[in-house]
Structure 1
Amino acid sequence: MGTGASNWNALRGCSFFMFVFLVLASSLVCSVTASVSYDHKAITVNGQRRILISGSIHYPRSTPEMWPDLIQKAKDGGLDVIQTYVFWNGHEPSPGKYYFEDRYDLVKFIKLVQQAGLYVHLRIGPYVCAEWNFGGFPVWLKYVPGISFRTDNGPFKAAMQKFTEKIVGMMKSEKLFQTQGGPIILSQIENEYGPVEWEIGAPGKAYTKWAAEMAVGLGTGVPWIMCKQEDAPDPVIDTCNGFYCENFKPNKVTKPKMWTENWTGWYTEFGGAVPTRPAEDLAFSVARFIQNGGSFVNYYMYHGGTNFGRTAGGPFIATSYDYDAPLDEFGLPREPKWGHLRDLHKAIKLCEPALVSVDPTVSSLGSNQEAHVFKTASSCAAFLANYDTKYSVKVTFGNMQYDLPPWSISVLPDCKTAVYNTARVGAQSSQMKMTSVGAFSWQSYTEETASAYTDDTTTLDGLWEQINVTRDATDYLWYMTDVKIDPNEAFLKNGKNPLLTIFSAGHALHVFINGQLAGTVYGGLSNPKLTFRQNVKLIAGSNKISLLSVAVGLPNVGLHFETWNAGVLGPVTLQGLNAGTLDLSGWKWSYKVGLKGEGFNLHTASGSASVEWAEGSLLAQKQPLTWYKTSFNAPAGNDPLALDMGSMGKGQVWVNGRSIGRHWPAYIAHGSCGACNYAGTFDDKKCRTNCGEPSQRWYHVPRSWLNPTGNLLVVFEEWGGNPSGISLVRRTTGSVCADIFEGQPTLKNWRVISSGKVGSMQSKAHLWCPQGQKISQIKFASYGMPQGACGSFQEGSCHAHKSYDALERNCIGKQSCSVSVAPEVFGGDPCPTISKKLSVEAVCS
Structure 2
Amino acid sequence: MFAEISLFFFSGFPVWLRNIPGLKFRTDNQPFKDEMQNFTTLIVDMVKQERLLVFEKNVILNAGKNYNSLLSVTVGLSNYGAFYEYDPAGIAGGPIKLTGKRNTIDLSTNKWTYKIGLNGMDKQYFVENCRNGSTMQWRAEQVPMQRPFTWYKASFDAPVGDAPVVVDLAGMGKGEAFVSGQSIGRYWANYTADPKMCHPCDHRGKYSDDRCRTGCQGPSQRWYHVPRSFLKTGKPNTLQVKFQTLNAGIVCANVEEGKILSLTCQGGRSITKINFARFGDVLGECGSFKQGKYAAAGVSPVVEEACVGQLKCSIKVMESNFGAGRGGGPRRLAVEAVCG
- TM-score, normalising length: structure 2: 0.50
CA distance in 1, matches of 2:117, 2:337: 49
Q: Which amino acid aligns with 1:614?
A: W
Structure in which a larger fraction of residues adopt helix: 1
* SS, match of residue 155 in structure 2: strand
User: In 1, distance between residues paired with 2:230 and 2:174?
Assistant: 24
Match of 2:119 in 1: 596
Where does residue 128 of structure 1 map in the other structure? none
The alpha carbon displacement at 1:564 in A equals 7.9
Cα separation, 1, equivalents of 2:203 and 2:69: 53
Structure-2 separation of matches of 1:777 and 1:668: 31
Q: CA separation of 1:698/1:610 partners in 2, compared to 1, >3 Å: closer, same or farther? A: farther
What is the CA-CA distance between 1:680 and the residue it aligns to?
Answer: 7.7
| Cα distance in 2 between the residues matched to 1:689 and 1:534 | 42
Distance in 2, matches of 1:660 and 1:707, equals 12
The aligned residue for residue 787 of structure 1 is 280
Match of 2:155 in 1: 631
Q: Say which SS state the counterpart of residue 616 (structure 1) adopts.
A: coil
Residue 244 of structure 2: aligned partner = 729
State the Cα distance separating 1:767 from its structure 2 match: 8.0
By how many angstroms is 1:570 displaced?
Answer: 0.3
User: 1:651 maps to which residue?
Assistant: 175
Q: How far, CA to CA, are the matches of 1:639 and 1:679 in structure 2?
A: 43
Q: 1:795 to 1:602 in 2, by over 3 A?
A: closer
Residue aligned with 2:129, SS: helix
Counterpart residue identity of residue 730, structure 1? T
Matches within 5 A, 1:482-521: none
Cα distance per residue 1:93-139 (max 9 Å; x no partner)? xxxxxxxxxxxxxxxxxxxxxxxxxxxxxxxxxxxxxxxxxxxxxxx
> Residues 548-567 of structure 1 correspond to what in structure 2 (within 5 A)?
548=72, 549-550=74-75, 567=89
Structure 1 or 2: more strand by fraction = 1
Residues 842 and 569 of structure 1, relative CA distance in 2, 3 Å threshold: same
Match of 2:90 among 568, 592, 603: 568
Deviation at 1:773, TM superposition (A): 10
**Cα shift at 1:817:** 6.4
1:672 corresponding residue in structure 2: 197
Which is greater in Rg? 1
Q: 2:36 matched to which residue of 1?
A: none
Q: Which letter does structure 2 place at the counterpart of 1:605? A: E
* Residue 817 to residue 675, structure 1, CA distance change in 2 (3 Å): farther
Per the alignment, do residues 535 and 656 of structure 1 end up closer, same or farther by CA in structure 2, a change over 3 Å counting?
same
Contact persistence 2:76–2:174 (CA under 8 A)? no
1:616 aligns with 2:140: yes
Is residue 642–residue 730 contact of structure 1 (8 Å, CA) maintained in 2? Answer: yes
Deviation (angstroms), 1:592: 3.9
Supply the distance in 2 between the matched residues of 1:727 and 1:792 (Cα, whole angstroms): 23
What residue is the counterpart of 2:225 in the other structure? 700
Q: Give runs of aligned pairs for residues 117-516 of structure 1, distance below 5 A.
A: none
Map Cα deviations across residues 276-331 of structure 1 (whole Å, 9 max, x no partner).
Answer: xxxxxxxxxxxxxxxxxxxxxxxxxxxxxxxxxxxxxxxxxxxxxxxxxxxxxxxx
Q: CA contact under 8 A between 1:777 and 1:842: conserved in structure 2?
A: yes
Aligned-pair distance for 1:584?
6.1
For structure 1, the residue ranges without an aligned partner over 5 or more in a row are 1-488, 497-529, 714-722, 747-764, 819-833
Q: What is the letter of the counterpart of residue 619 of structure 1? A: V
Whether the aligned pair in 2 keeps the contact of 1:669 and 1:691 (CA below 8 Å) is yes
Equivalents in 1 of 2:192, 2:154: separation in Å? 27
* Secondary structure of the corresponding residue to residue 198 of structure 2: coil
Distance 1:685 1:647 in 2: 27
What does the per-residue CA deviation read over 1:184-236, in whole Å, with 9 as the maximum and x for residues that have no partner? xxxxxxxxxxxxxxxxxxxxxxxxxxxxxxxxxxxxxxxxxxxxxxxxxxxxx
Matched, 1:662 2:186: yes
* Matches of 2:209 and 2:236, distance apart in 1: 38
1:649, distance to aligned residue in structure 2 (A): 1.8
Aligned residue for 2:22? none
Q: Sequence identity of aligned pairs in percent?
A: 25
TM-score (norm 1): 0.24
Task: Write the distance in 2 (CA, Å) between the matches of 1:712 and 1:660.
Answer: 20
Determine helix, strand or coil for the equivalent of 2:151. Answer: strand
Closer/same/farther in 2, CA of residues 737 and 569 from structure 1, 3 Å limit: closer
Amino acid corresponding to residue 120 of structure 2 in structure 1 = G
8 Å contact from structure 1 (residues 574, 584) kept in 2: yes
Q: Is residue 837 of structure 1 aligned with residue 319 of structure 2? A: no
RMSD between aligned alpha carbons? 5.9
Partner in structure 1 of residue 33 of structure 2: none
Q: Which amino acid aligns with 1:626?
A: T
2:125 partner amino acid: L
